[in-house]
Amino acid sequence: MKFKASKLLCAILGLTMIISSIGCSGGNSGNNVEPQGDTQTPQVSETDTPQEEVELTFWHIWGAETDASYGAVKKVIADFQKEYPHIKIKEDTTENEAYKTKIKASAAANELPDIFSSWGGGFSKPFIDSGRVLAIDDYLDDATKSRMVNGALTNVTYDGKVYGLTFGLSCGALFCNKELFEEHNLEIPETYDELVEVVKAFKAKGVTPMTVSGKDIWTIAMYFDAMALKSAGGDKVTSTLLKQGSFKDPEFLNAAEKFAELVELGAFPEGAAGLSKDESDIPFLEGKIPMLFNGSWTAGTVYRDDSKIKDKVTVVGFPVFADGKGGKNDFTGGAVDCIMVNANTKHKEAATLFQQYFCENMARETYLAGAYLPAWKVEVDESNINPVTVELAKLTSEATGFTLWWDTLLEGEDTQIYLNSLQELFLGSITPEEFIDKLQSMYE
Amino acid sequence: MGKSKKELDKVKKIGTSGIVYSLLFIWAAIQIFPIYWLFTFSLKSNSEIFGGNALGLPKEWMWQNYEKALVTGKVGLYFFNSIIVTGATILITIVVSLMASYALTRMNFKLKRPMNAFYMLGLTVPIHSALLPVFIMLRSMKLVNSYIALILPYVAFAIPMAVMIFTGFISSIPRELEESACLDGCSIYGVFFRIIAPLMKPAVATVSIFTFLQAWNELMFAVVFISDTRYKTLTVGIQSLAGQYTIDWGAIGAGLVVATIPTLIVYIFMSKKVQDSLVVGALKG
Amino acid sequence: MEKVWSNKKAIIFFLFPSFVILTLIIIVPIIMSSYYSLLKWDGFGKGEFIGLKNYIDLFSDKAFLMSVKNSLIFAVSSVFIQLPFSLLLALVISKGVKFERFFVTVFFIPVIISTVVIGQLWMKIYHPEYGVLNLFLRAVGLGNLAKEWLGSKETALGASVVPVLWQYIGYHMLLMYAGIKSISADVFEAAKIDGASWLKTSRYITIPLLRPILKVSLTFAVVGSLKVFDLVYVLTRGGPARASEVTSTLMVETIFKSNKYGYGSAMAIFVIIECFLLYWLIGKMFKTDEVV
């Protein structure tokens, strides 16, 4: 008994060593993505297609019918299948948040599919650093690149190499309920001082001016990212986030102080710190709260079935600061959602072919669906598109630049530092100066 | 005097039992509320769920939420998968845990105490930290994307719980029962299958309920270990109704109603077994 | 009998299947996690071996220490509030009240409802504006007690503890109820003949005989509290400003959001050791006056 037990223990230990070495080895170790669609299928179909049959696995996040992108994905994949019948796309969809966990675990366990949707900036950086993602420069010709809008590749370029393709662009924008502004004889604010006046005026009439969810902290970050941009300007924000500068520069403190001022003025709902985004959106959609600063996808939300503010919404950029370096046409956001190819895929040609086809067509279809602004140059009939999306497209067509959201640009750990200290600033449990100190701790 | 005391007692008894019953019914009303809430939730739109009418009846009965859940959530197929995975999990868990529990409580061997601790270990593992290691294990056994990829971890995480409950129940059975059976010439297997197993009915029913809940509702393993629609389970199907920026909570509620009904049935069925066992015991007594 | 109970072949036969499953899915992963906990590793590329540094860092990490404290608050309130209540319910409904089946069924309902839905329900109760709790307080003239229950640092932890305790009352009740039901009916008959009241029967007969199950319940309550995650995540995400952070929410953030896999694994190992110590302590407590 004893002998057996020790033998078993040895076996377990041995096994563990092997396994943990697999777990930690670089991405270049043996590729084990199951070749479900066998490449060497000899029975080339009766049709005289010379190409060999290929099956590609594709994981993405657009599997819910409530998503504006749902129909677009379905259509683009169906079109692709028609055009390239020998390349079979096997989809698997997962809910957004769970997908992030799934894809990280799959990367760690070397179980990534051939093609997967991801996010540019900090999220994908560890994937790229560990060699999980294919650099696609060799597959991308200049003609293709020329069909993309400026900045389409910025967030998917790492160390000078392109690792993913984007299709749509999102930006932060201030969604305003025109009716409420008219009712209270107020103008849509263009400068920060006007914003403060508007906030005070609404407040005086018992209307909560803006909504935010303090529990889903990224919604607070939407506001602060924009304020930092208006204060410091795009280049400074980006270089500081990339750790080539300092949060101690006065522009950041200025943004933090102004943010704290808005909180102090009661610009946000009472108890917002405990509300989820689903809850905090409702008063805006019911026409009780006049302003919401959030991503351009909100245009879709405004036209949701149960929305009471359809056709009442106009959209502007965040008000500019008199003492700020960011201009009227500087926006937060950018082309982030992207498609990447597994570095270990057996079908690099087919996978990159699909990647390009998918992104270019998704750019058009998701714009038509009102989900994204296009990251490729597309010709479409805009009359059927959600009017707020069209307004956004016009607004951003004059954009001088897009500065990525902090929680997207930063890597995991720094993102958490940012979000957690921003929540504290929002609660008023730290001062703007302390907030800056916490941000600066990213440099340590 | 004696008579009036008796009467007084009777009045007192009725009084206290009146209070007891009213308290029980008040508690019952509180406990039953979540079911009502879930049901009305499933028939509302987001603005009703998150707006002022959170607790009342729906103003507009959104039966189409069920259509959304059943059709787009592919609830039918996923339901079938959930039943297979959960059923197998319960069956395996009960058999292997009952066997282990018997050895761990009654039988004598040197490593008994460390063995008990070994079984307990599983109870302490935070499931999120186990995700990657278990994933790597399953992958090395070539089990990813199969029913077994879920059944095996579900069983493993249920065994410690089941063993704890079973050992609790076995140790409250008097040893004399087995001893007298043994005198009649029963083998150890006979003692286990003929004496112990039948006495474990309330415990088996309880463990079945708990294992059912665990396996039926599990989400994280189900999301990560399965990337093939053929093997996805109900919770994953319901989750997939949530979009990137908009979540249609009514449809999710509808999916959850569909998922909760079997749970309720299993519970009612199994708790009846728990209750009936007393009667059986008394008859044998 | 002792000879029968020492049958080596039978012991192996009984233990083997579960032993293999546990080894593969629980023990090997624990060993792997222990190894990860010695690395500085983002979960992707090559890890760097840093010895016990993660553990040393844990004990100077305010957020972590706070989360351990909060988890222990969950455990203590579970033991002293939830379990006595569950026991009381189990004792009352098993003594033969009318509608016994109805009560057994209904009291368990919160356990079977998805945590997401239970979370949404409590968010409605706590909502600062139209939440039932604040409406009630205002209605009875205690409006000054109305609070932003989930949104303020002072109340968020308490406001997350209550739903968790409440949801699992039925769980422990069922366990205890089944325990009482498997006590031989003769015992109760004898007590009845002796004219013992329900209170006395419970105190001197039922509860002592239920000790093994109470131990199980206690263990589940403590270990479950130390690992609590779902409902807290739905209600507060561990916030605001970490006020209701528990070890599991912090660990999930560390592993999956901050990509600090090694550090998160160290937290996991800490939880395993913590749970194990308490399990051992509970065992000691119940050993001192074991009846059998």
Write the pLDDT tens digit of every residue in A393-444. Answer: 888 888 888 999 999 999 888 999 999 999 999 999 999 999 999 999 999 8
Helix, strand, coil percentages in chain C from 3-state DSSP, rounded to 5? 75, 0, 25
Does some domain include residue C3? no
Residues from chain B contacting residue C11 (CB–CB below 8 Å):
103, 107, 109
DSSP string over C107-136: HHHHHHS-HHHHHHHHHHHH-TTT-HHHHH
Question: Which candidate in A8, A18, A20, A125 is best for mutational testing of the C interface (most C CBs within 10 A)?
Answer: A20
What per-residue confidence (pLDDT) applies to A4? Answer: 46
Strands A291-295, A337-341: pairing kind: unpaired
Mean pLDDT of B151-165: 95
Looking at chain C from residue 178 to 217, which residues have their Cβ under 8 Å from any Cβ of chain B? Answer: 178-179, 181-186, 209-213, 215-216
Q: Is C193 helix (H, G, I), strand (E, B) or coil?
A: helix
What per-residue confidence (pLDDT) applies to A253? Answer: 95
Asked if B144 and C266 touch (Cβ cutoff 8 Å), the reply is no
- Percent of chain C's residues with pLDDT above 90: 57
Name the band, by pLDDT with cuts 50, 70 and 90, for residue C97. Answer: confident
Question: Which candidate in C100, C109, C272 is best for mutational testing of the B interface (most B CBs within 10 A)?
Answer: C109
Q: How many CA atoms lie within 13 Å of B219's alpha carbon, on the beta-carbon side?
A: 18
CATH code for the domain in which residue C94 is found = 1.10.3720.10
What per-residue confidence (pLDDT) applies to B196? Answer: 86
Q: How far is A439 from chain B (nearest CA, A)?
A: 28
What per-residue confidence (pLDDT) applies to B191? Answer: 84
Does some domain include residue C6? no
Residues from chain B contacting residue A301 (CB–CB below 8 Å):
245-246
Does some domain include residue C31? no
Mean pLDDT of A110-138: 93
Name the band, by pLDDT with cuts 50, 70 and 90, for residue A15. Answer: very low
Name the band, by pLDDT with cuts 50, 70 and 90, for residue A24. Answer: very low
Q: Is B61 helix (H, G, I), strand (E, B) or coil?
A: coil
Q: Give, in order, the Cα–Cα distances in Å from C90 to each of B151, B168, C290.
A: 32, 17, 22
Q: Do B132 and A109 touch (CB under 8 A)?
A: yes
What per-residue confidence (pLDDT) applies to B12? Answer: 66
pLDDT at B4 over 70: no
The per-residue pLDDT for range B59-104, each reduced to its tens digit, is 888 888 888 888 876 777 889 999 999 999 999 999 999 999 999 9
Please tell me which residue of chain B has the smallest CA distance to A280. B50
Residues from chain B contacting residue A282 (CB–CB below 8 Å):
46-47, 50-51
Name the band, by pLDDT with cuts 50, 70 and 90, for residue A112. Answer: very high
Count up the domains in chain C and report the number: 1
Instruction: Tell which residue, A153, A262, A150, has the closest CA to residue A212.
Output: A262
What per-residue confidence (pLDDT) applies to C288? Answer: 57
Q: Do B168 and C256 touch (CB under 8 A)?
A: no
Q: Do A24 and C46 touch (CB under 8 A)?
A: yes
What per-residue confidence (pLDDT) applies to B167? Answer: 92
pLDDT at A162 over 70: yes
What per-residue confidence (pLDDT) applies to B5? Answer: 63
Mean pLDDT of A254-271: 94
Q: Do A101 and B240 touch (CB under 8 A)?
A: no
Peptide bond preceding C240 in cis form (omega within 30 of 0): yes
DSSP string over B89-120: HHHHHHHHHHHHHHHHHH---TTHHHHHHHHH
For the domain bounded by A171-333+404-443, which CATH number is listed? 3.40.190.10
What per-residue confidence (pLDDT) applies to C98? Answer: 83
pLDDT at C73 over 60: yes
Does some domain include residue C8? no
The per-residue pLDDT for range B214-255, each reduced to its tens digit, is 999 999 999 999 998 889 999 888 888 888 777 888 888 898
Q: What's the CA gap between B255 and B66, in Å, rounded?
A: 7
Measured between CB atoms, does A433 come within 8 Å of chain B? no
Of A129, A276, A411, the CB nearest to C45: A129
> Helices in A233-368 by DSSP H: which ranges?
234-241, 250-265, 277-285, 298-302, 348-368
Q: Do B72 and A64 touch (CB under 8 A)?
A: yes
Q: What's the CA gap between A321 and C212, in Å, rounded?
A: 69
Q: How far is B221 from chain A (nearest CA, A)?
A: 9
pLDDT at C249 over 80: yes
What per-residue confidence (pLDDT) applies to B197? Answer: 87
Chain A: partners with 3+ C-beta pairs within 8 Å: B, C
The per-residue pLDDT for range C220-246, each reduced to its tens digit, is 999 999 999 999 999 998 878 899 999
The radius of gyration of chain B's CA atoms, rounded to the nearest angstrom, is: 24
- Residue predicted with more confidence, B272 or B246: B272
Measured between CB atoms, does B260 come within 8 Å of chain A? no
What per-residue confidence (pLDDT) applies to C128? Answer: 86
What per-residue confidence (pLDDT) applies to B6? Answer: 65
Give, for A292, the enclosing helix (H) or strand (E).
Answer: strand A291-295
Of B152, B188, B264, the CB nearest to C7: B188
Q: Give, in order, the Cα–Cα distances in Å from C80 to each of B147, C84, C87, C107, C218.
A: 40, 6, 11, 19, 10
What per-residue confidence (pLDDT) applies to A1? Answer: 39
- Phi then psi dihedrals of residue B179, to 5 deg: -60, -45
Mean pLDDT of C136-163: 89
What per-residue confidence (pLDDT) applies to C192? Answer: 78
Q: Do B253 and C117 touch (CB under 8 A)?
A: yes
Residue C138: partners with Cβ closer than 8 Å, 6 or more residues away: C146
What per-residue confidence (pLDDT) applies to C55? Answer: 96
DSSP state of C79: I
Asked if C34 and B218 touch (Cβ cutoff 8 Å), the reply is no
Measured between CB atoms, does A410 come within 8 Å of chain C? no
Please tell me which residue of chain A has the smallest CA distance to B109. A1
Q: Do C179 and B128 touch (CB under 8 A)?
A: no
Strands A337-341, A87-93: pairing kind: unpaired
Chain C: partners with 3+ C-beta pairs within 8 Å: A, B
CA A246 to chain centre: 25
A–C: how many Cβ contacts below 8 A? Answer: 124
What per-residue confidence (pLDDT) applies to A6? Answer: 46
Indicate the average pLDDT of chain A.
Answer: 86
Domain coordinates in residue numbering, chain A: 51-167+335-379, 171-333+404-443
Please tell me which residue of chain A has the smallest CA distance to B54. A279
Name the band, by pLDDT with cuts 50, 70 and 90, for residue B52. Answer: low
Please tell me which residue of chain B has the smallest CA distance to A111. B139
Measured between CB atoms, does B236 come within 8 Å of chain C? no
Of A15, A104, A269, the CB nearest to C256: A104
Instruction: For domain A51-167+335-379, give the fold.
Output: D-Maltodextrin-Binding Protein; domain 2 (3.40.190)
Asked if B140 and A19 touch (Cβ cutoff 8 Å), the reply is yes
What per-residue confidence (pLDDT) applies to B215? Answer: 93
Strands A313-316, A168-177: pairing kind: antiparallel
Q: Give, in order, the Cα–Cα distances in Å from A366 to each of A66, A316, A375, A397, C70.
A: 13, 21, 10, 17, 45
DSSP string over A350-366: HHHHHHHHHHHHHHHHH
Asked if A79 and B255 touch (Cβ cutoff 8 Å), the reply is no
Instruction: Tell which residue, A416, A423, A419, has the closest CA to residue A263.
Output: A423
Residue A85: partners with Cβ closer than 8 Å, 6 or more residues away: A47, A49
Q: Do A126 and C43 touch (CB under 8 A)?
A: yes
What per-residue confidence (pLDDT) applies to B62? Answer: 84
What per-residue confidence (pLDDT) applies to C286? Answer: 84
pLDDT at B149 over 90: yes
Asked if C58 and C268 touch (Cβ cutoff 8 Å), the reply is no
Q: How far is A16 from chain C (nearest CA, A)?
A: 6
Same topology for domains A51-167+335-379 and A171-333+404-443, yes or no?
yes
Residues from chain A contacting residue B247 (CB–CB below 8 Å):
66, 278
Indicate the average pLDDT of chain B.
Answer: 85
* Tokens linked to A183: 């009712």
pLDDT at A36 over 50: no
Which amino acid, residue B246? T
- Domain holding C158, by residue range, is 58-287
What per-residue confidence (pLDDT) applies to A9? Answer: 44
Count, in order, helices (H) and strands (E) of chain A: 17, 13
Window from A58-62, B43-47, B125-129, B278-282 with minimum mean pLDDT: B278-282
- Phi then psi dihedrals of residue A340, to 5 deg: -125, 160
Measured between CB atoms, does C133 come within 8 Å of chain B? no
Q: What's the CA gap between B122 and B157, in Å, rounded?
A: 6
Q: What angle do CA A368, A373, A376 make, to 5 degrees?
A: 90
Of A92, A105, A278, the CB nearest to B46: A278
pLDDT at A43 over 70: no
DSSP string over C4-53: GGG-HHHHHHHHHHHHHHHIIIIIHHHHHHHHHTTEE--SSS--EE-TTH
Measured between CB atoms, does C259 come within 8 Å of chain B? no
